[in-house]
Amino acid sequence: MSDLRAAVAAGALGSEQSYRELLQSIVEVARSIFDARASSVFLFDEESDELVFEAVAGEGAGDLVGQRFPSSTGIAGWVLVTRQPLVVEELDKDPRFAREAAESTGFVPKGLMAVPLLHEDNALGVLEVLDRPQKAAFSLAEMELLGKFANEAAIALDLLQKARAARTVLEDEGAEADALARFAARLDEAEPEKREAALQLLDALGKLLRER
């Protein structure tokens, strides 16, 4: 039962809020470290083919979370598709910049740094740091630091998606799945050898439920 495996990977069920808070802390620290006006994390929603604001610090915080754009939009869309980090010091001179989309958020940055959020070969979204002071040229050390933020954000985003998938299966399957999910949640504390055996049990139980 793959959704229950997702629940196990996510840890305890019902923890979506904790992962959202983790993403929020990541963008807040990134903004502070780079002394930027804003920082944000986009989630790639494959079903709708959109980028969704999941966490925002600085300009737009409190207003942008949940807003959606086509996944091909602007710098974030380019970074998502190419899976390459990008630094643009003068956005008004870059043809990839989607000014209209930026204006719709109420904040038009002058420059930004963006990096893809990759987890197990999947492009989950994009991390952006906007309007960092141009005291000097962007350095290799800063790129490495941004990459570390991206790694942490990708893990948090992956867990958030798994938590949402687990919540969905509970809503769809009812009481039996709820009982199985509570069992799955406890596996997070199990020893590795016991954990795999319990996962096999979950798969067998899931198959039994589907055959009823």
Per-residue confidence (pLDDT) for residue 127, from 0 to 100: 96
What helix, strand, coil percent values describe the chain, rounded to 5? 55, 20, 25
Task: Share the mean pLDDT of the chain.
Answer: 79
157: exposed, middle or buried (Cβ count in 10 Å: 0-12, 13-18, 19+): buried
36-95 pLDDT, tens digit per residue, is 999 999 999 999 999 999 999 998 888 899 999 999 999 999 999 999 999 888 888 989
114-137 pLDDT, tens digit per residue, is 999 999 889 999 999 999 887 666
Res 23 pLDDT > 70: yes
CA pair distance 121, 157, nearest whole angstrom? 14
CATH no., domain 14-162: 3.30.450.40
For residues 156-181, give the mean pLDDT.
68
Q: Which residue has the higher pLDDT, 202 or 13?
A: 202
CA pair distance 52, 177, nearest whole angstrom? 29
Q: What's this model's pTM, rounded to 2 decimal places? A: 0.74
CB 167 within 8 A of CB 14: yes
16-25, 61-70, 163-172, 191-200: lowest mean pLDDT where? 191-200
The full set of domain ranges for the chain reads 14-162, 167-211
Res 151 pLDDT > 70: yes
Per-residue confidence (pLDDT) for residue 106, from 0 to 100: 84
Per-residue confidence (pLDDT) for residue 12, from 0 to 100: 41
Per-residue confidence (pLDDT) for residue 107, from 0 to 100: 86
Per-residue confidence (pLDDT) for residue 9, from 0 to 100: 45
190: exposed, middle or buried (Cβ count in 10 Å: 0-12, 13-18, 19+): middle
Per-residue confidence (pLDDT) for residue 115, from 0 to 100: 95
